[in-house]
Amino acid sequence: MNLQLQDKVVLVTGGSKGIGQGIVRSFLAEGSRVANVNRSEAEGRGLEAEYAAKGQDCCFIQGDLSDVDACRQAVAATLERFGRIDVLVNNAGVNDGVGLDAGPDAFVESLRRNLVHVYAMTHFAVAALKDSRGVIINIGSKVSVTGQGGTSGYAAAKGGINAMTREWALDLAEAGVRVNAVIPAETWTPLYENWLNTMPDPAASRRNIERMIPLGHRFTTVEEIADMVVFLASPRSSHTSGQIIFVDGGYTHFDRKYTASSAD
């Protein structure tokens, strides 16, 4: 299927590892041109060189997106390099474990790391997206609807992302800009693997989680998340907006009877 994304300009936040890196790779495979905004210079420059060696057009923009001015500069640098923005993917974020015990200052800082930059990037990019009748895709988390415990800031941020997705879909409908959210649950990334390796028996912990994922009893892959993002960004999804789409093998919404039986 031709997704008609050749030469489209895609701005991805946090595109140097994990789900973000998978999203960048999938857009490049479709012939898109990508700007990757990330904090780590070493990661970003290394990937930029790797893609260039393959003839793929991906520029790295260094920036700590918890700084609103870095968001402004990232959008400006993308427009300077490519002259337009067709797709904005708000992917950057971290489950920082800021719970009720952390206090208001830590909570506000968690929102800055996980929510404020989503608003700021969209605010600064929206004129360009209106010009291109473009697409915004926000990467959320199952925590926005399930809770997890001990992570109030991250949960609030991801809940806010769901709400802003629908708010912006309405705000921008007349301009022809589509806005959707993709929600991962148990996705196999290096970060997830590192966390499992802190468990007394990582292999057993992985099996216990996989048993609770109905479709295939396996983790979602980064590529499966990325493929959904790319599809939603494409004209093949031209009448889809304001949707919160779970790519999780059924993990988030199954009946709790299944949880109990799978854990036996």
Residue type, 203: A
Distance spanning both ends of the chain, measured CA to CA: 42
Phi/psi zone of residue 199: left (φ > 0), alpha (ψ -120 to 50 degrees), beta? beta
Neighbours of 147 (CB within 10 A): 12
What pairs with residue 244 in β-bridges? Answer: 181
Is 154 a catalytic site residue? yes
Give the H/E segment covering residue 150: none
Residue with tokens 């989680």: 209
**Contact assessment for residue 153 and residue 110, using Cβ atoms and an 8 Å cutoff:** yes
Q: Which of 95, 63, 83 is nearest to 8 (CA)?
A: 83
Tell me how far apart the alpha carbons of residues 23 and 232 are, in angstroms, rounded to a whole number.
12
Set 154, 192, 251, 258: catalytic member: 154
In the block, tokens 């970003």 appear at: 44
Q: Which residue type, as a one-letter code, is found at position 19?
A: I
3-class SS of residue 164: helix
Structure tokens at 39: 């904090």
Token pair 């999780």 is found at 248
Are the beta carbons of 73 and 63 closer than 8 angstroms? Answer: yes
Query: What is the enclosing helix (H) or strand (E) of 27?
Result: helix 18-29
- Catalytic residues, by residue number, are 154
